[in-house]
Amino acid sequence: MTFIDYSNEEKSSATKEEKDTTSSKLPEDASKWGYDMYPDRKGASSKSEKPSRSVTDYLTGRGRDHLDKIRCERNVYKCVKESPLVKLMMGALKSSGCGIDIRRHIACEECASNVSGGYDPIMNQVIVCHNTVKSEGMVQGVLTHELIHMFDYCQNDLDFKNLEHLACTEIRAANLGHCSFMSAWINGDASIFNIKEMHQNCVKSKALSSVMAARSGISKMEAINAIEKVFPKCYPDLEPIGRRLRRNSYDMYKAYEEGYYYGYDIP
């Protein structure tokens, strides 16, 4: 999932280095662009709006946010050190001139219950939702998905105000990081009669849900039309992972090894 980008005028004069220091001022209608699902993105003032917790809250477990955050940060660190996919994405970003400092570019935050992560191009930061993403495997999935958005923003100069741009990066993230035969089957996008098209259907379904979550001001048909328009161009684009990953396979390890051939500065 992605957030709103700053204006094209600001972006046209920004270098890759300047993107990281661009003003973090939020759009006027923050809810339209998904910021309402990420309360910590609203700035320090939102913290005062959060209800205070009593001793009872802490005793019953409702005050464990700080522990969830610590666990999330540990999982992020482990993925950065050990996950072939995360290391591949970080190497590809570094080779594109957009290296990552995990203390600056990855944040564990509390989010709405219906999201697991996001990419904020204004802050140039990946968000992992510590209240909904509990396991190392889930953290790896969120990081891979959101780092694809970061890569597209760095490499392809995306404008997230453009619905077709948003649809394209969501197609790529779903294509490279989510859909396999099993996930397509579970989501109802596959059967014995459409094996050939099951992956494309899964990608479209995942991209649609992500676009609708990120852009509350549009209709479902508008999102579908944008996805269908850019799908023929964006679906075949497998950079930088280079392959569609099958569940319970060695594909992510193969992709990691192949990254060296593409000149990625992989840690």
Are 122 and 3 a contacting pair, CB within 8 Å? yes
Report, in angstroms and rounded to the nearest whole number, the Rg of the chain calculated over CA atoms: 18
**Full strand arrangement of the beta sheet holding 106-109:** 106-109, 125-129, 117-120
Q: How far apart are CA 198 and CA 240, in angstroms?
A: 23
**Which among 173, 145, 168 has a CA at the least distance from the CA of 156?**
168
CA 113 from chain centre, in angstroms, equals 16
Q: Which of 73, 110, 146, 170 is catalytic?
A: 146
CA dihedral 14, 16, 17, 22 (to 10 degrees): 50
Q: How many other C-beta atoms are found inside a 10 Å radius of the C-beta of residue 94? A: 15
Active site residue 164: no
Q: Give the catalytic positions in this structure.
A: 146
